């Protein structure tokens, strides 16, 4: 009794890694781009006024984290949010960030 639960390092690292993906401005903006419709890489780059390469690098991170999925159609890769869980989390972050503004 009174013992404190010590979260092991592997699990706490996994938790931190999960949150870390949302912890970058560019990745957040990309995810918001995908809220309504799927988008191809260059569309996102144009909308965010960033280099195609930068977007592609971040999309890989989002894909590895299973937050987005990619669909190839000809020369284009269309990215979309993996599931509605992602938009729920995004909107949680938005509400928190704008609650005292």
Residues near DNA, by CB under 7 A: 20, 23-26, 40-42, 50-54, 56-61, 70, 72, 74-77
What is 27-78 written as a DSSP string? HHHHHHHTTTS-EEHHHHHHHHT--HHHHHHHHHHHHHTTSEEEEEETTEEE
Q: In whole angstroms, how close is the CB of 47 to a second copy at the nearest point?
A: 6
For DNA, give the closer residue by CB, 56 or 87.
56
| 46 contact, one of a second copy, DNA, none, CB 5-8 Å limit per kind | none
> 49's torsion region: left (phi>0), alpha (psi -120 to 50) or beta?
left
**How near is the Cβ of 75 to a second copy at its closest, in Å?**
21
């Amino acid at each position: 009794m009174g013992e404190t639960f010590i979260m092991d390092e592997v699990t706490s690292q996994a938790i931190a890694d999960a949150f870390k993906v949302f912890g970058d401005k560019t990745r957040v903006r990309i995810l918001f781009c995908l809220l309504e419709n799927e988008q191809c890489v260059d569309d996102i780059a144009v909308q965010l006024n960033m280099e195609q390469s930068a977007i592609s690098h971040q999309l890989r991170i989002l894909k590895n984290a299973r937050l987005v999925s990619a669909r190839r159609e000809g020369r284009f890769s269309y990215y979309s949010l993996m599931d509605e869980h992602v938009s729920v989390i995004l909107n949680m972050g938005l509400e928190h960030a704008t609650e005292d503004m």
